[in-house]
Each structure stands twice: as structure tokens, then as C-alpha cells.
Amino acid sequence: MTNLVRGTLAFFNRTKGFGIVRTDVGDVFLHATKAGAFLDQLVDGASVEIDVVTRFELGEYKRSAARVMAVSEPQPIMAYGCVKWYDAAKGFGYISLVGEFAGQDARINRAVIDGSGFDLAACAGMPVRVTIEPNGRGYGVTAFASDEAIVAAYSAIVNTSQLSGWLDGHIKWFNTAKKFGFIRVGGEMDGEDFFLHISTVQRLNLSVHALQPDHPVRFRHAPNLRGKREVQELELLESTPGADAVLASEPSSDVPAPKTKRIRTSSAARRDKLAALVAPPPTEAADVQSKSARPDKPRQTPRPHKGERLAAVEVTELPDTELARQMAAQGLVHVNGADKSSTSLH
């Protein structure tokens, strides 16, 4: 059983000899042998009319083209959007579409931009009018333009498009390096997140530095091509009065402790220093007690300074040696009961 349907050729690979036609009943497999005389006209985005055969296999319906009845060239489509991002090094970027294509992105290549005078890498969020054609991955841009009239038309489409109502929430987080973030509605456990791209922020002339966590906002959203609920309109609300003062009065636990200079010493010295730091300061009574508890050490005769004479040693009898006579002559030896001059040697 066949069914005549119309669709758009999502892609056709001439090397592998097959392609996919997207129709209202679903994707249809098209083999090159079924194209007949229309094989050379099968290009991505072309409008085709085919006979579809439907089979039920392995629990699902599979559709394939029995033959191609007609093929027409892809018709360009005019749409409005804004520059989502463009990478000059890679040579391509994306336009975020609005209106009937809201939530979908169209790829724009360097060949379309050359000679236009626009630097799209520095124009994120700029409203544009584009001519798009369907391809295997969505839409591709074949021409674009931007002026004051286009900006006004873009704003009118955005304001009248099927966006959600205004919602209240707060910034969950926003990463300026990754160029996106999320808005949270509700509590941390039972809340919902909404995707926020930097192109929306720049289009609305908002500062990314104001997108601090927990900052209150109002916004409207619409689903994008990936199925995420993306923010399209955004308003920054004022913070609760007095909240900043309360936060400023509380000590912050994020302030790092001051770093201490590390001195390389031996383990014994480090242990003694640590013990001195943690030990309580000694009292005067404890200091006296600790000094009295120290064992007495034998007192040693101090060594004389340079040029200072030692005190004479008193002896009862002077031995008859050359060293003793020299010491007596220098006054280093004194015999008890006798003067230095009358010291006799025995």
C-alpha cells in the first residue's frame, strides 16, 4: 500500500546512494534507485513528492519511498533573528531565529559574510534579516542584512511572538567565559532552570557583570532547537533593601587566613617553637619554682681575659722543679705562711 506525500529532502548522500525525506507523517527513507529521472535534482532542501510504503517491523513503523514523482528546487525563506555567536577562526556561527522559527538556529558561514562589512564576531545580539534554506541539520543562511528598519521589525516580532508570560526568578549562575548561564525559578530543591545565552543579554543592552548569583530578575522564555527553555526577554530587578548591609555586617568565611612565613629549621627546633607557642605564659611563682628545682652545677673558674693575670695558687710546699720555680717567679704560686720574696724551694 502506497501513499502520495510531499516533503523536504533533509539530505541526500550520492556516495552512499540514499537520503531522508522529512514529511508530516515522519522521516522517509529514499534510495537512489527509486529516484529515476529525478536523481540529478535531489539536493538538500529540495521539495519532493513521493509514493511512501509503510511496513511494521520489530515493533515500529518503517517508511520508504517507492518512487519519486516530482522534485522542485528549494525555495528561500525570509526570517528575522539575532546573531547568537560567530567564530572568525572557525569561519561559521549561528543566527537565533524568532517569529515562526522561534527557538531554532540557522548556521551562517564565512562565504555569506565576506564583503558585507559586518564583523559578526563583535556583533553578538545584533538583529538581522536572513534568507534561510532547509538542510540536513536544520537551516542554513544564504543572505543577511541589518539596518534600523530591520531592528524595528525584529522588535515587533519578538514582542508579538508566542513567548511565555513574565516570570520572576533569580540568577542561578552566569559564566562569562562560557557565555551562558541559568535562571532559577523557585527553591534550590524544587525549582526550575531556564537557559540564558549571552546574545540575549547583549541584545537587551544589559551588563554581564550585573548577572550575579541570587540577583532577582523578570523574564520571558521560549523553547529553542535543543528543547531547552531559553530566555528571550530579561529585566533586572533591584535587590532587597538592606540585604547588602546585612551581608556586609556578617563576617565572611571565604576570606582566607593570612599566610605565615615558613622558616626551615630542624624537627627538634620546630617542636620546641611549637611547644612555646601553645604553652601558657609562665607566672612569676612558677618561674621561681622552676629555677629552684634545677640541680646545682659545679661552678667553674672563669677563664681570664686577654692581658689579665690569674690569682696566685696557695700551697704548703713548693716542689723542686723548673716549672714550679718559673711559676713562683711569675707570682702564680704562694706558699702559706711565707712572702713571695722569701719563698723557698725544697
Q: What is the pLDDT of residues 132-165, one digit of tens each?
A: 887 767 788 988 888 888 887 877 777 665 567 8
- Enumerate domains of the chain plus CATH numbers: 2-72 (2.40.50.140), 77-160 (2.40.50.140), 167-236 (2.40.50.140), 310-346 (no CATH)
Q: What is the pLDDT of residues 11-32, one digit of tens each?
A: 888 889 999 888 888 889 999 9
Query: What's residue 173's pLDDT?
Result: 92
Query: What's residue 250's pLDDT?
Result: 46
* pLDDT over 60 at 115, yes or no: yes
Q: What is the pLDDT of residues 69-114, one digit of tens each?
A: 888 877 778 898 889 889 989 999 999 888 778 778 899 998 888 8
Instruction: Calculate ∠ Cα 139-228-216, nearest 5°.
Output: 130
- Rounded CA Rg of the chain: 47
> Residue range 200-208: average pLDDT?
84
Q: Residue 215 — very low, low, confident or very high, per pLDDT cuts 50/70/90?
A: very high
What cell was used for 268?
A: 627538634
Rounded Cα gap, residues 7 and 126, in angstroms: 33
Rounded Cα gap, residues 296 and 162, in angstroms: 99
What cell was used for 157?
A: 516580532
What cell was used for 57?
A: 517491523
Rounded Cα gap, residues 101 and 76, in angstroms: 14
Query: What's residue 174's pLDDT?
Result: 93
> Residue range 172-176: average pLDDT?
91
- Please give the backbone phi and psi of residue 229, each rounded to the nearest 5 degrees, phi first: -85, 105
Query: What's residue 253's pLDDT?
Result: 44
Q: What is the pLDDT of residues 257-302, one digit of tens each?
A: 555 445 454 555 655 655 555 455 555 555 555 555 555 555 555 5
- Whose CA is closest to 26, among 63, 66, 55? 63
Q: Residue 318 — very low, low, confident or very high, per pLDDT cuts 50/70/90?
A: low
* pLDDT over 80 at 319, yes or no: no
Query: What's residue 98's pLDDT?
Result: 84
Rounded Cα gap, residues 38 and 68, in angstroms: 7
What's the Cα-to-Cα distance from 190 to each of 77, 186, 187, 230, rounded to whole Å? 42, 7, 5, 19
